[in-house]
Amino acid sequence: MFFFLSKILAFLLSPFFYLALILLWTFFCKNHRKQKKLLSITLIMVFFFGNRFIIDEFIRLWEPDIKNNKTEHYDIAIVLGGMANYDASNDIIRFNSNVDRLLQTLPKLNRKEIDLILFSGGSGDIYHPENKEAELIQKYLPSIGINTRNFLFETESRNTYENALYSVKLLKEQFGDLSKKKILLITSSAHMRRSIACFEKQGIKVDYLSTNRYSGERKFEFRHCFIPESYVFTMWEHLGHEVVGYITYKLTGKL
Segment 58-94, tens digit of pLDDT:
999 999 988 766 678 999 999 999 999 998 889 899 9
Query: Within this chain, do residues 93 and 165 fall inside the same structural domain, yes or no?
Result: yes
Residue 131: per-residue pLDDT: 86
pLDDT at 152 over 70: yes
Q: Which ranges of the chain does DSSP label H, i.e. alpha helix?
A: 2-12, 15-28, 32-49, 52-62, 100-103, 106-110, 133-143, 160-175, 189-201, 222-226, 231-251
52 and 8 inside one domain: yes
SS3 state of residue 139: helix
The verdict on residue 136 lying in a domain is yes
Say how many Å lie between the first and final Cα of the chain, rounded: 18
pLDDT, residue 11, reads: 64
- Tell me: do 124 and 95 sit in the same domain: yes
14: pLDDT strictly greater than 90? no
In a domain, 216, yes or no: no
**Domain of residue 173, residue span:** 74-211
Angle of CA points 135, 208, 244, to nearest 5°: 80
Q: Are residues 159 and 139 in the same domain?
A: yes
Round to whole Å and give the CA distance between 244 and 98. 20
The mean pLDDT value for 186-200 works out to 96
Question: Are residue 113 and residue 9 in the same domain, yes or no?
Answer: no
Lowest mean pLDDT among 87-91, 104-108, 159-163: 87-91
Number of domains forming the structure of the chain: 2
Please check whether residues 83 and 182 belong to one and the same domain.
yes
pLDDT band for 4, please (50, 70, 90 cuts): low
The answer to whether residue 7 scores a pLDDT higher than 70 is no
Residue 17 and residue 118 in one domain: no
Residue 150 sits in the same domain as residue 186: yes
